[in-house]
Amino acid sequence: MSTMTDNLGRVMEPQVSSDRNFAAMFAEMQKWQKAYDSASPEIRDIVDTMVQIINDPGADDDERQAAIDTMDEALFPTFTNGVYGIPIEDTAVDADGNPIDDVETREKEKVFARKVKAAMKRRGMTQTQLAQRIGIGQPAVSMLLRRVCRPQKATVNRIAKALDLDPNDLWPE
């Protein structure tokens, strides 16, 4: 490899390592963009919601990592035992890493969706209005209310504040 000099005659070292890192990063971005472009509208909604969580200043590192993992699984699903995806009961764990009782969690999801819908109806609030108040997209609100995805704690808190409710009334600890 030939050496290069800058306009002051100093020898410049080639940046092969950073060039390779950039090329790898760019290739990875293209792979994700291609997967997103070819995804169904439902998958795009999931990815868009996860991007909102990643960009949410109120989200913590665990929430951001969970959002990245969800995006990865949505765009590049695992194929196990002849089926795409990972069963939620295999992935749902609490803060200590213990499996979450799926029946209990699903009941919390149901109560959450019912209470949010009722509060929105009492206030004459649309999904779009709620989404604007809490800083997420309307598709994300729709997915939460249809129980397609579970709300993050920060999202429950923002929804509760927007609806003038106690967060524990929406999603009990």
Structure tokens at 16: 């092969």
pLDDT digits (tens, 9 = 90+) for 96-137: 555 555 677 778 888 899 999 999 999 999 998 998 898 877
Give the pLDDT of residue 84. 54
Whole-prediction pTM value?
0.50
Query: Which residues are CB-contacts of 76 (< 8 A; sequence separation ≥ 6)?
Result: 35
pLDDT digits (tens, 9 = 90+) for 47-65: 888 888 888 887 777 777 8
What is 17-170's CATH number? 1.10.260.40
Amino acid at 23: A
